[in-house]
Amino acid sequence: MPVMQLKESSEQHIVIKTNLQNPKNTPKASSQNGKAPPPTSIQNNNQTSPPQPRNKGRRRGRGGRKSDQGEILTRPSSRPCTEITSAINGNVENGYNSGDIDVGFPTSSKSMNFTRRPGFGQVGTKCIVKANHFFAELPDKDLNQYDVTITPEVSSRTVNRSIIAELVRLYKESDLGMRLPAYDGRKSLYTAGQLPFSWKDFTIKLVDEEDAVNCPKRVKEYRVVIKFVARANLHHLGQFLAGKRADAPQEALQILDIVLRELSTKRYCPIGRSFFSPDIRRPQRLGEGLESWCGFYQSIRPTQMGLSLNIDMASAAFIEPLPVVEFVGQLLGKDVLSRPLSDADRIKIKKGLRGVKVEVTHRGSVRRKYRVSGLTSQPTRELVFPVDENSTMKSVVEYFQEMYGFTIQYTHLPCLQVGNQKKANYLPMEACKIVEGQRYTKRLNEKQITSLLKVTCQRPRDRENDILQTVQHNAYDQDPYAKEFGINISEKLASVEARILPTPWLKYHESGKEKNCLPHVGQWNMMNKKMINGMTVNRWACINFSRSVQDSVARTFCNDLAQMCQVSGMEFNLEPVIPIYNAKPEQVEKALKHVYHVSTNKTKGKELELLLAILPDSNGSLYGDLKRICETDLGIISQCCLTKHVFKITKQYLANVSLKINVKMGGRNTVLLDAASYRIPLVSDIPTIIFGADVTHPENGEDSSPSIAAVVASQDWPEVTKYAGLVCAQAHRQELIQDLYKTWHDPARGTVSGGMIRDLLISFRKATGQKPLRIIFYRDGVSEGQFYQVLLYELDAIRKACASLEPNYQPPVTFIVVQKRHHTRLFPNNHRDRSSTDKSGNILPGTVVDTKICHPTEFDFYLCSHAGIQGTSRPAHYHVLWDENNFTADGIQSLTNNLCYTYARCTRSVSIVPPAYYAHLAAFRARFYMEPEMQENGSTGDGNSSHSSKGTTRAAGECGVKPLPALKDNVKRVMFYC
């Protein structure tokens, strides 16, 4: 019986012994470091039998239960988190002993293995689908790795590749022994078979294309040292692919991936794991000087069928290779050749061109390239600079005329600055052109996103054909690097056995004509149905921020929406507290406070329950400002509606809005019939809590903005439909969720335990009257390279949170990573067979794959739980990293698919499991709370004092993270982020 190792800390720890009830999932402790894996304790001593039927009826009745609406206690103010719903301090009254128990965890992933696949699923209708995976035959040659040192050191991979390409050209037939090496652009070189030497020094001369201004081209000399490092173990790779070893030989996989990328890297523009070119398909303009390039994604993957080459189509925004003057005109959307620029224009141009590489066009065939560092504050006609040591001054206009015979026409425009600030050089805009092949990494505007989506949106049949054409065009059988290393790639899509899982029945309120509903192809509607828990809205108001919406139109819309809420099962007052209030978008805070105070006075102190807001279709920061003020300042639940929907009222739209309003008010729209009837395996037998967690990171270019972590948890066992959630700011681009569990010192109470997991467990206890005896944790947004780190850290935090509530309280945990950012696509085996596709031509919702293209040994599966609307559906990839509940393949696949029908905002099954979806929405919402305080450079300002929350600022890394503003109590209790 292993004993947990204590983690070094100033906190007090105790040792918890574990009862092993899942031997297949409990790895042995590492003999090297003596550290044991996370505990696998399962304490089921307090298991309770399912409640009696009379309780079930009460739970399904209309209106919120008292236990859902009970008193919500605030957490200690020192906690730098914002509660999104219920958050309660732990104490004896809540049914938990708040003893501070801390459990250590292994610091090395070597002592821990992921859950092995318990078998394959059998439930569902069997079918065949095609996947964009191409079988890659394992080479039989020795793979050797060499270390490359280039002196002087070069930061550009492109330059590094040019140096090695020149080396191979000069020495392939001599010193390299006819070997054709593959190079990663950094420090590693790979060969099939050994080179004639184990260490060798080369001198390579290369023409420098980017010298300083006005200097002749120079030939740079580099010293290249190649040194043998190791031989890759292909036998290990073969055993891993055969399922005989659990640890993947990453070095061998990396070599094969680099080899198959080598030729494409020379042909195309490499961005990450994708390759782009304007020659693959004609670029499409996106506006403001941007265009879309088509390309393809490529990655070698270990699967059950062996090595697989995953190929998918890709699109990205690039800066259009225009003359700079033309680019500036597109960027500003106006004529810049005859009109002077405003200060706002200069700022926009400076932001748009900073860091962009340009080439000069005024010197004939000499096309030197420079990177833009800034923009002059003066127009070109006013710029002068010293031309000699005597500080003789000359204007830029004169210099270009005398030196190059180039007449600058648009002297009212500023010059580009290239080089560093100490020695900046001026280049007239009209003498420069943007270099082709520069990806645009900043945020796209709505029009650009729409244009890009039109390019990327392909029907399954078209996408499949493009993928096949890409494979044929790449001609891997003719690839000299693939030949050199003995890699053969199939040109056929993989045929995979799949199953279509049965659609779950949904339960609605008994008073409706349809009490139960069976969705058809992932969809249903609210006709003849009533919400299973319809809430009451007596006091509501409406603010109209849209100038084009007249009062009569707004009144008609509000009345229609109120009636739809009534028809759907809510008790909704048809009359607002005050007449519809018209306001300007720039006066959002003033308008919201006015409506709040007038409404409160009208109702004699009773708070407004709901605020409807009509917004312009393009509303800038209005939406975020409104949500921030309502939820952190006034404590109002709000529902925003766009102008286009107000003018074009449809029953479908009104029904969807009514669903959102009901869950925001604390109600439930529908539940799974099997859940209400206690028929879901490993969920209905004992009180089970289902978590969802996600971290959203700031946009590229925001170097100091914090990341936002969100955790939600079900609060209504056995139905598992209603969720509470918490959000927290943490260090910039930190993926590990820092505040799952934490302790801090309180002057009055001493060491206090807290954190998002702990608070949500207590909230579950208050809502259901029972403590969770099983935990299912869906974690979104984790890449494969972070699996071990995230599991070790976050599973340990879950354990600590449980142990802090009650001694020996360790409910079994199943930890599942949800991935949407992958490139596996599933296509119908026969596109003409309408019985096997939905209306969009995609595979049917409920299609699950756990064979052939999945991991050789680990517990993963692809699930397409939704019906396609347009484009090609992307299945979600679920990876069960840790499972103490002993789920079967059918058990976790069916549960996950069924939960996708409980998403509260629409009458469709969704593409990822709702708790993960809700966590993403919560994290996204929380970013609105901080953006008004962000400065132009991304640093955090002081902000408005009314938006700040009390408490200490947690330091993360070397930078402090400012807490999110606290939410109002009445907002915390509901799923307002829906």
Residue 978's pLDDT is 82
End residue of a domain, out of 599, 634, 667 = 667
Q: Are residues 203 and 276 in the same domain?
A: yes
* Residue predicted with more confidence, 21 or 421: 421
Contact 610/639 with Cβ under 8 angstroms? yes
> Six-digit token pair at 496?
């995979």
pLDDT at 24 > cutoff 60: no
349 domain residue, yes or no: yes
Residue 210's pLDDT is 53
306 domain residue, yes or no: yes
952 domain residue, yes or no: no
Residue 972's pLDDT is 75
SS (HEC) of 192-209:
ECCCCCCEEEEEEEEECC
Q: Are residues 145 and 284 in the same domain?
A: yes
860 domain residue, yes or no: no
Residue 90's pLDDT is 37
pTM of the model: 0.85
Residue 4 pLDDT grade (very low, low, confident, very high; cuts 50, 70, 90): very low
Residue 365's pLDDT is 79
pLDDT at 842 > cutoff 50: yes
Cis status, amide bond into 278, omega within 30 of 0? no
Residue 960's pLDDT is 72
> Six-digit token pair at 200?
């060798």
Q: Which has the closest alpha carbon to 131: 15, 283, 379, 304?
A: 304
Least confident interval from 30-39, 311-320, 564-573, 580-589: 30-39
pLDDT at 65 > cutoff 60: no
195 domain residue, yes or no: yes
Question: Structurally, how many domains does the chain consist of?
Answer: 3
pLDDT at 74 > cutoff 70: no
> pLDDT tens digits, residue range 428-478?
999 999 999 999 988 898 899 999 998 889 999 999 999 999 999 999 999
Give the CATH number of the domain where residue 337 resides.
2.170.260.10
Instruction: Please tell me the distance from the alpha carbon of residue 123 to that of residue 817, in angstroms, as a whole number.
Output: 22
Helix (H, G, I), strand (E, B) or coil at 639: strand
Residue 954's pLDDT is 36
Q: H or E stretch including 727?
A: strand 723-730
484, 490, 491, 494 alpha-carbon torsion, rounded to 10°: -150
SS (HEC) of 381-426:
HHCEEECCCCCCEEEHHHHHHHHHCCCCCCCCCEEEEECCCCCCEE
pLDDT at 191 > cutoff 60: yes
Contact 98/805 with Cβ under 8 angstroms? yes
Mean pLDDT of 315-322: 96
Instruction: Please tell me the distance from the alpha carbon of residue 327 to that of residue 912, in angstroms, as a whole number.
Output: 40
Residue 827's pLDDT is 98
> pLDDT tens digits, residue range 137-175?
988 888 999 999 999 999 889 999 999 999 999 999 999
Q: Are residues 311 and 239 in the same domain?
A: yes
Q: Are residues 282 and 155 in the same domain?
A: yes
Instruction: Please tell me the distance from the alpha carbon of residue 268 to that of residue 276, in angstroms, as a whole number.
Output: 6
Q: For residue 119, count other CB atoms closer than 10 A to its CB.
A: 11
Residue 421's pLDDT is 60
Q: Are residues 167 and 312 in the same domain?
A: yes
Least confident interval from 144-158, 661-675, 696-710: 696-710
Q: For residue 697, count other CB atoms closer than 10 A to its CB.
A: 17
Residue 664 pLDDT grade (very low, low, confident, very high; cuts 50, 70, 90): very high
Residue type, 788: Y
Contact 805/869 with Cβ under 8 angstroms? no
Length of the chain: 978
Least confident interval from 24-33, 510-519, 554-563, 635-644: 24-33
Residue 215's pLDDT is 52
Residues linked to residue 518 through DSSP beta bridges, in sequence order? none
Residue type, 527: M
Residue 84's pLDDT is 43
Instruction: Please tell me the distance from the alpha carbon of residue 1 to that of residue 20, in angstroms, as a whole number.
Output: 7
Residue 912's pLDDT is 97
> pLDDT tens digits, residue range 377-417?
999 999 998 887 777 889 999 999 999 999 999 999 999 99
Residue 28 pLDDT grade (very low, low, confident, very high; cuts 50, 70, 90): very low
> Six-digit token pair at 889?
């393949």
Least confident interval from 298-307, 414-423, 760-769, 852-861: 414-423
> Six-digit token pair at 184?
């990663």
Residues linked to residue 549 through DSSP beta bridges, in sequence order? none
> pLDDT tens digits, residue range 761-810?
999 999 999 999 999 999 998 999 999 999 999 999 999 999 999 999 99
Cis status, amide bond into 718, omega within 30 of 0? yes
The number of CA neighbours under 13 Å toward the Cβ of 858 is: 22
Q: For residue 584, count other CB atoms closer than 10 A to its CB.
A: 11
pLDDT at 621 > cutoff 70: yes
> Six-digit token pair at 670?
């529908």
Instruction: Please tell me the distance from the alpha carbon of residue 46 to that of residue 58, in angstroms, as a whole number.
Output: 24
Instruction: Please tell me the distance from the alpha carbon of residue 579 to that of residue 555, in angstroms, as a whole number.
Output: 9
Whole-number average pLDDT of the chain: 85
Residue 932's pLDDT is 54
Residue 711 pLDDT grade (very low, low, confident, very high; cuts 50, 70, 90): very high
Residue 368 pLDDT grade (very low, low, confident, very high; cuts 50, 70, 90): confident
Q: For residue 792, count other CB atoms closer than 10 A to its CB.
A: 21
DSSP letters spanning 756-804: HHHHHHHHHHHHHSS--SEEEEEEES--GGGHHHHHHHHHHHHHHHHHH
Least confident interval from 57-71, 90-104, 132-146, 432-446: 57-71
Residue 88's pLDDT is 32
Contact 412/424 with Cβ under 8 angstroms? no
Q: For residue 913, count other CB atoms closer than 10 A to its CB.
A: 27
Residue 948's pLDDT is 31
SS3 content of the chain, % helix, strand, coil (to 5): 30, 25, 45
Mean pLDDT of 817-834: 95
> pLDDT tens digits, residue range 37-53?
343 333 333 333 434 43
**CA-derived radius of gyration, the chain:** 31
Residue 392's pLDDT is 82
> pLDDT tens digits, residue range 513-571?
999 999 999 999 999 999 999 999 999 999 999 999 999 999 999 999 999 999 999 99
End residue of a domain, out of 607, 640, 667 = 667
Contact 330/289 with Cβ under 8 angstroms? yes
Q: Are residues 481 and 597 in the same domain?
A: no
Q: Are residues 352 and 462 in the same domain?
A: no
Q: Are residues 161 and 305 in the same domain?
A: yes
Q: Are residues 481 and 542 in the same domain?
A: no
Give the CATH number of the domain where residue 568 resides.
3.40.50.2300
Q: Are residues 310 and 331 in the same domain?
A: no
Q: Are residues 461 and 539 in the same domain?
A: no
Instruction: Please tell me the distance from the alpha carbon of residue 443 to that of residue 699, in angstroms, as a whole number.
Output: 7
> Six-digit token pair at 655?
């029904």
Instruction: Please tell me the distance from the alpha carbon of residue 861 to that of residue 120, in angstroms, as a whole number.
Output: 10
Q: Which has the closest alpha carbon to 915: 704, 742, 692, 764?
A: 692
Instruction: Please tell me the distance from the alpha carbon of residue 852 to that of residue 304, in angstroms, as a whole number.
Output: 5
Q: What domain range includes position 619?
A: 534-667
961 domain residue, yes or no: no
End residue of a domain, out of 632, 667, 702 = 667
Q: Are residues 246 and 363 in the same domain?
A: no
Burial code of 155-192, b = ≥16 C-beta within 10 A, e = fewer?
eeeebbbbbbebbbeebeeeebeebbbbbbbeebbbbb
The runs of H, that is alpha helices, within 44-154 are: 53-59
Q: Which has the closest alpha carbon to 180: 191, 195, 188, 170?
A: 191
Q: What percent of the chain has pLDDT over 70?
A: 84
749 domain residue, yes or no: no
> Six-digit token pair at 544?
């109209």
609 domain residue, yes or no: yes
Residue type, 942: D
Question: What is the DSSP-derived secondary structure letter of residue 111?
Answer: G
pLDDT at 10 > cutoff 70: no
> Six-digit token pair at 358?
């340009």
The number of CA neighbours under 13 Å toward the Cβ of 624 is: 13
Residue 420 pLDDT grade (very low, low, confident, very high; cuts 50, 70, 90): low
Instruction: Please tell me the distance from the alpha carbon of residue 138 to that of residue 380, in angstroms, as a whole number.
Output: 61
Burial code of 304-328, b = ≥16 C-beta within 10 A, e = fewer?
bbbbbbbbbbbbbbbbbbbbbbbbb
Instruction: Please tell me the distance from the alpha carbon of residue 796 to that of residue 788, in angstroms, as a whole number.
Output: 12
* β pairing state of 516-517 and 432-434: unpaired
